[in-house]
Amino acid sequence: MNSKTKLEAPIALKKRHIHDIHGHQRSDDYFWLRDDNRETPEILDYLKQENAFTEQEMAPLAGLQTELYNEMVARQEPDLESVPYFKKGFWYVSRYEQGKEFTIYGRRKGSMDAPEELILDCNERAENHNYYQLGDLALSTDSMLMAFSEDVVSRRQYTLRFKDLSTGEELADVIEDVSAVVWANDNKTIFYVKKHPETLLPYQVYRHTLGDNIENDLLVYEESDDTFYVNIYKTRSEKYLVICIDSTTTSECLVLDATKPTGQFVPFLAREGDHEYSIDHFQDKFYIRTNNSGKNFALKTSDSLTNENADLWETIIEARENILLEGYELMRDWLIVEERQAGLPVLRQINHKTGESKTLSFNDPVYTVFSHYNPEPDTSKFRYQYTSFTMPATVYELDLDTGETKLLKQSQVVGEFASEDYQSERVWVTARDGIKVPVSLVYRKELFNHQNPILIYAYGSYGHSLDIGFSSSNLSLLDRGFVYAVAHIRGGEELGRSWYEEGKLLKKQNTFNDFVDVSKSLVELGYGAKEKVFAMGGSAGGLLMGAVINQAPELYKGIVAAVPFVDVVSTMLDESIPLTTGEYDEWGNPNKEHYYHYMLSYSPYDQVVGQDYPNMLVTTGLHDSQVQYWEPAKWVAKLRELKTDQNQLLLYTDMEAGHGGKSGRFKHFEDIAREFAFLIDLAE
């Protein structure tokens, strides 16, 4: 091909395919773009054509992309080290070395002045791989053996390996397709969760003894209901191993004495529909976070390993209507609870003996605070992390007895950055049904003039709350005059469990309405110019993008949809696709007719029509196991066929990555620079 030949936008072939269910026929002309093995030359060629077209269309922005990437990298500390923590005789530290993409893990015996013992250098492990992700890193009870898992494909399928830390030798035991691992207390037995080879659901727990043939590993638990996910962990007391089995609405925990690995796991409390609970153990008590007495969760205790009646549990914290109990940390004399009230996280300490309660207070209008890593419970020192739109991540150590707080570390922004140059705000927008939706905003003070370009970000699914944290990357937008907004729409859990329930299943449309109403209101309130409104979302947030541009395309100048879940009906009808069955309680099961028609009414792919759409950048990863690459590929093909505008429509497929994009400390800035360049160019 002549290097000067201008590429036309790729036009995908249409191949007639009809889905027939509930007496309804649904046309899917781009169904052929699906290849589970990712090997079909015709499909790979099409994706490469799309990439070439995107590269051509964004070529004029190459200088801006490079400028943005260099800015983002330059803000990072060249050498970055974690706050050291002490556990069982060793001080542990993780760090990045200058110019390296991956973490190095080390420890020092007894004192930070002792010589460092290298545990794992992920830079060495990542050599000769296009992608690398460390999964679990778990030490045996005596701290001398290490289990670690790695993904080099980007499908979240981890290979489990072992290392003898006394010799530095890697052991011969290798186990494939593992999602979680925990050690028994004998320093030789491990339990691991295995993923299903097709659906990738974590569904089996095996017991392995180091040195034994993997083929002889004992299956100790298998979950037969494919709407549940399986995980395993050790309690705070380190006395028990817990298999937790969770669906979107129901839980069950199985428990085993960690000193008796050949024993049988027993149910803590048998599963019961719509009862969610999780357990921990400390100071001879089981602690239970449960929704059996209220949807925003209570904290209760039990002295018994097996329970038949949850009503007999002793209540420490009642379930409350306006406060969500999100988590807790068990310390020697104090209980720390992580709560959420009026959309903001709260940390509260409660004395085990006296019941005395103290709440930590903060000044930012929007922020995030949560328990940092506290491996040693037998202390009054508690570490927590705080961040906001204008404050980089900061780790504090609080003396729970005296209230004295010590700053341990604050992430640094290299170069010219002053927190006071930026303003963060929180506003409440009234949605069309009268419900008030919280919105978090940040902008550079001197550039704010009520005619700014505005980027609105949201997610709104799975009860996932979008916590507000500092982003050094976002400075590249703020310093160019953008206002950045996070819409805490229904489907998240910012305002409690009901906020989630009002944005799922047959109420999913509330999620999209909230986002559209927030977009309109922010313009009316002067936070952004009407002709410079942009929106961004990823995964289920990409579904949000697809739904709102079908329903209100005129509101947006440009959209970034990252790994978007846009073919919701087809995917939820196919139980072979990873994660489908586990999400019926989120989206609905379209095998049931009323769910089918409701989901179809908002499905981004199915609802594409002949109308004008905003400028769009759509991204995906060929190896994505969460949202398969063919969903965005099909969506773009259909948009290109039907849209009536001349706006940009770009599809970029990372041929080496999956759902999370590129691996490594700096590589992911390439993705962000591409997205930001696309937005900044449109805003000018």
For 545, phi and psi rounded to 5 degrees? -60, -45
The one catalytic residue in 173, 217, 624, 654 is: 624
671 is catalytic: no
* Calpha distance 187→192 (Å, rounded): 15
624 is catalytic: yes
Read off the tokens for 118: 């290298």
Q: Is 549 helix (H, G, I), strand (E, B) or coil?
A: helix
Nearest to 454 by CA among 423, 432, 429, 486: 486
Element containing residue 492 per DSSP (H, E)? none
- How buried is 111 (Cβ within 10 angstroms: 0-12 exposed, 13-18 middle, 19+ buried)? exposed
Side chain identity, residue 498: S
User: Cα 525 to chain center, whole Å?
Assistant: 31
The one catalytic residue in 603, 659, 663, 671 is: 659
Q: β-strand 266-269 against 251-257: which pairing, if any?
A: antiparallel
Beta-carbon neighbour count of residue 613 at 10 Å? 21
DSSP state at residue 180: E
* Calpha distance 480→66 (Å, rounded): 16
The one catalytic residue in 247, 472, 539, 570 is: 539
* Calpha distance 396→405 (Å, rounded): 7
Residues 6+ apart with CB under 8 A from 73: 666, 669
Residues 6+ apart with CB under 8 A from 112: 84, 91
* Calpha distance 55→140 (Å, rounded): 48
Q: Is 307 helix (H, G, I), strand (E, B) or coil?
A: strand
Side chain identity, residue 398: L
Q: β-strand 80-81 against 90-96: which pairing, if any?
A: antiparallel
Catalytic residues: 539, 624, 659
